[in-house]
């Protein structure tokens, strides 16, 4: 994990003092600070150094500031200023004096149902204002819910929030958020909506009631599967049924089955809190369930209210039948209730239905018109292939779009765009983010090991790998001609495609001169020389100066071969008169030296040592 220095004690732009570190988010660290100009305490978030060097990280940090500025609501942390200092990007927000919900749960444990409902209601009403600006938070959790000293709830950390109309968290998009609080569609990479935040708020409400989240596990994947497949465990005994209903609705797997807005969940919580005594017996012995339907209890028998009058009438008739006089004359008795007369007018009913249908059609048309007028503007995505990152970014900003860059190998020119998502020509909303792939050039190739192969086979292998071959023959005694004895670069190196690999192949053996020496009258000796081949030879010339001392017999120089190594070879022979004379040896590899002994007669001579390799 890279190290982020503690900037406490610094003053940004000579205005904002950083007093102490109080929190840390994905892209920045949060400090308690002080605004010298306005003389007020503030919270200051400074980007982490490694994100400042990453265009995507800096963009996410700036987007958080923009989204905070877009929402003006007491339930959302308010932003005051944005700046760029030597220490990096930063933005200044209000300082919430209090604690986070996560700290409160750690300190005090589970909350009472009505206290949890109050916090959840405030959270949902704050989220509704964010949703009204088309912002989906995507990371609602206790650590991002701040509670002031007066009990007011504020939502912070919009670091991974995004515009709902631009959300494409599927396909190649990265899944972001905190696994324990992710909605099923978010965990599976599907598009996010305000209902995603409703689910996360339901998880937070569950944790406030139970002291733990409903799902947990060893890995993010395990937790995500539980969100998608498993129902939440039951809440603790004693949780009011009406509160359980709210939690159950908020945690529905299908977004369509949840509260369709944060304000709908907030209203349900308000009604639940206002009916805090609805689960207790009423003064008439009635109880209310979570949906508000009431029953009346009579002598341990519950009778629905709608059936009360009918049962009462039945009881009166039975009592009157038993009360007849012996003479058969009925006494005065109560008449049964009669059903009110209903006037049926089919034509009027049809007119009423027609008027209702017309009103519904007009209302639908008005809603569609309002949606069309308020819908965000759309842009046709331009073609970015072949552009540099700077050019692509400028072209997208001109269209009111944002770019995020990734780099990969391709055959395109290094430093230019070769792919984009969405594709060129697609319709996207203003403010959408486009992923642009920048080429790093062709993928590097690993140099294979070719020593011991024939030069032809090695060349074929290199061509298959997209590399070129250059063959140079070198002496290699004892090696079959054409076999590669070494290569450059060596195996294991990584090179660019089409790089030439030099192959040094054993050449067909031939005579190679090693050293030579000569003299006119007198003797001499060669420098020591090393023979590598299986055989070697001396090529020499010798001629007498004048006439020999003995007319019929000449005594010229002679050569002696000395072995200087382990081989103690010692051979002698006389130099013959003539040119290009040869003397061969098959003593094999070793270190040798030639000594020339002068004869009685003066002579000129020269000797060249040649090795067979």
DSSP state of 556: -
Q: Which of 13, 35, 139, 430 is catalytic?
A: 139
- How far, CA to CA in Å, does 106 sit from each of 222, 461, 481? 24, 64, 79
CB 146 within 8 A of CB 126: no
DSSP bridge pairs for 544: 603
DSSP state of 306: G
Return the structure tokens found at 179: 């696994």
CA 312 from chain center: how many Å?
71
Euclidean distance between CA atoms 538 and 610, whole angstroms = 6
| Nearest CA-CA partner of 431 in 161, 125, 46, 79 | 161
Return the structure tokens found at 151: 């009990």
Euclidean distance between CA atoms 589 and 68, whole angstroms = 84
DSSP bridge pairs for 68: none
- How far, CA to CA in Å, does 271 sit from each of 243, 264, 266? 10, 11, 9
Backbone angles phi, psi at 428, to 5 degrees: -130, 160
| Nearest CA-CA partner of 23 in 8, 12, 35, 37 | 8
DSSP bridge pairs for 500: 468
- How far, CA to CA in Å, does 409 sit from each of 21, 362, 412, 439, 558? 41, 56, 8, 6, 71
Q: Which long-range contacts (C-beta less than 8 Å, at least 24 apart) are formed by 91-94? A: 91/44, 91/45, 91/64, 91/65, 92/16, 92/33, 92/35, 92/42, 92/43, 92/44, 93/42, 93/43, 93/44, 93/45, 93/68, 93/156, 94/42, 94/43
Euclidean distance between CA atoms 130 and 136, whole angstroms = 7
CB 87 within 8 A of CB 77: no
Cα angle 136, 141, 145 (rounded to 5 degrees) comes to 90
| Nearest CA-CA partner of 445 in 503, 498, 494 | 494
- How far, CA to CA in Å, does 159 sit from each of 95, 244, 398? 17, 31, 25
Euclidean distance between CA atoms 224 and 233, whole angstroms = 15
CA atoms within 13 A on the CB side of 329: 3
DSSP bridge pairs for 550: 553
465 is catalytic: no
Euclidean distance between CA atoms 136 and 195, whole angstroms = 9
Name 49's Cβ contacts closer than 8 Å, sequence gap at least 6: 2, 4, 5, 88
Catalytic residues: 139
């Amino acid at each position: 994990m890279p190290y982020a220095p503690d900037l406490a004690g610094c003053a940004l732009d000579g205005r904002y003092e950083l007093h102490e570190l109080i929190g840390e988010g994905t892209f920045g660290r949060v400090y308690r600070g002080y605004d010298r100009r306005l003389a007020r305490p503030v919270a200051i978030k400074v980007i982490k150094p490694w994100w400042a060097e990453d265009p995507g990280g800096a963009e996410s940090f700036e987007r958080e500031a923009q989204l905070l500025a877009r929402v003006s609501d007491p339930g959302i942390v308010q932003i005051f200023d944005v700046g760029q200092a030597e220490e990096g990007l930063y933005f200044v927000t209000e300082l919430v004096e209090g604690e986070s919900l996560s700290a409160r749960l750690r300190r005090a444990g589970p909350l009472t149902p009505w206290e949890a409902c109050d916090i959840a209601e405030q959270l949902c009403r704050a989220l509704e204002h964010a949703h009204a600006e088309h912002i989906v938070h995507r990371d609602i959790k206790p650590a991002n819910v701040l509670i002031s000293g007066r009990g007011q709830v504020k939502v912070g950390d919009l670091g991974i929030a995004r515009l709902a109309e631009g959300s494409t968290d599927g396909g190649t998009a990265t899944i972001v958020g905190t696994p324990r609080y992710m909605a099923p569609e978010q965990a599976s990479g599907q598009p996010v909506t305000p209902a995603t935040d409703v689910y996360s708020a339901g998880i937070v409400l569950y944790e406030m009631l139970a002291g733990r989240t409903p799902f947990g596990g060893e890995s993010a994947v395990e937790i995500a599967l539980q969100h998608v497949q498993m129902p939440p465990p039951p809440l603790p005994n004693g949780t009011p049924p009406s509160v359980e209903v709210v939690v159950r609705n908020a945690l529905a797997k299908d977004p369509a089955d949840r509260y369709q807005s944060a304000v709908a969940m907030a209203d349900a919580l308000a009604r639940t809190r206002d009916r805090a005594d609805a689960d207790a017996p009423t003064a008439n012995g009635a109880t209310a369930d979570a949906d508000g339907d009431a029953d009346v209890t009579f002598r341990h028998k519950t009778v629905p209210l709608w059936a009360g009058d009918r049962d009462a009438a039945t009881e009166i008739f039975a009592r009157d039948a038993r009360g007849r006089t012996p003479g058969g004359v009925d006494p005065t008795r109560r008449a049964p209730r009669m059903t009110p007369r209903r006037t049926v007018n089919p034509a009027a009913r049809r007119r009423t239905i027609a008027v209702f249908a017309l009103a519904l059609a007009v209302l639908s048309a008005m809603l569609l018109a309002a949606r069309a007028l308020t819908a965000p503007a759309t842009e046709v995505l331009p073609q970015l292939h072949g552009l540099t990152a700077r050019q692509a970014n400028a072209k997208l900003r001109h269209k009111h779009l944002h770019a995020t860059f990734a780099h990969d190998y391709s055959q395109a020119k290094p430093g230019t765009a070769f792919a984009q998502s969405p594709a060129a020509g697609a319709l996207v909303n203003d403010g959408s983010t486009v992923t642009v792939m920048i080429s790093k050039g062709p993928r590097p190739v690993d140099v294979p090991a070719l020593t011991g192969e024939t030069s032809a086979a090695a060349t074929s292998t290199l061509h298959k790998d997209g590399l070129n071959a250059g063959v140079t023959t070198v002496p290699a005694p004892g090696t079959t001609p054409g076999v590669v004895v070494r290569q450059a670069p060596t195996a294991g190196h990584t090179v660019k495609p089409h790089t030439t690999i030099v192959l040094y192949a054993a050449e067909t053996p031939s005579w190679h001169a090693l050293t030579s020496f000569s003299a006119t009258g007198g003797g001499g000796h060669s420098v020591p020389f090393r023979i590598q081949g299986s055989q070697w030879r001396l090529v020499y010339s010798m001629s007498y100066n004048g006439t020999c001392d003995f007319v019929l017999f000449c005594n010229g120089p002679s050569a002696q071969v000395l072995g200087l190594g382990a081989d103690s070879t010692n051979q002698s022979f006389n130099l013959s008169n003539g040119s290009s004379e040869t003397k061969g040896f098959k003593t094999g590899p070793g270190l040798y030296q030639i000594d020339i002994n002068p004869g009685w007669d003066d002579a000129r001579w020269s000797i060249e040592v040649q090795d067979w390799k």
